[in-house]
Structure 1
Amino acid sequence: MYKALVFADRFFTPAVFEQATSQVPFWEGVQRVYYDLGWPEVPFCYGERLREYVPYPQEALKEVEEAEILVTQMGLVDEHLLQHAPRLQAVGCLRSGPVNVDHEALERRGIPLFFAPERSVEAVAEFTVGLFIAARRGIVRACREAFLGIWSQSSYFDYALAPLPLSQVTVGLIGFGKIARRVAQLLGPFRVREVVSYDPFVPQEDMAMYGVRKVSLEELLQAADIVSLHVRYTGENRKMIGEREFRMMRPGSIFVNTSRGELVDEEALVRALQRGVPAFACIDTCCEEPWCGKHPLADLQNVILTPHIAGASRSTVESAALEIAQAIGRYFEEAYLFGKKEAR
Structure 2
Amino acid sequence: MEYRKLGNTSLELSTITYGAFAIGGNMWGGNEQKDSIASVKASIDHGVTTLDTAPFYGFGLSEQMIGEAIKGYDRSKIQLLSKFGLVWDGSNQGKGEFFFDAEEAGKKIPVYKYASRANVMKEVEESLQRLQTDYIDLLQIHWPDSTTPIAETMEGLELLIQQGKIRAAGVSNYSVPQVAEAQKSVNIASNQVGYSMLNRGIEKELVPYAREHNLGIIVYSPMERGLLTGKYLESGQLKDNDHRNGYFQQFDLEKVKVFLDTIRPIAAAKNATLSQLVLRWTSLQPAIAVVLAGARNADQAIANAKAMEVDLTAEELQFINTALAKI
Work out which structure has the larger RCO, using CA pairs closer than 8 Å and 6 or more positions apart in sequence.
2
TM-score by length of 2: 0.31
- With normalisation by structure 1, the TM-score equals 0.29
Larger radius of gyration: 1
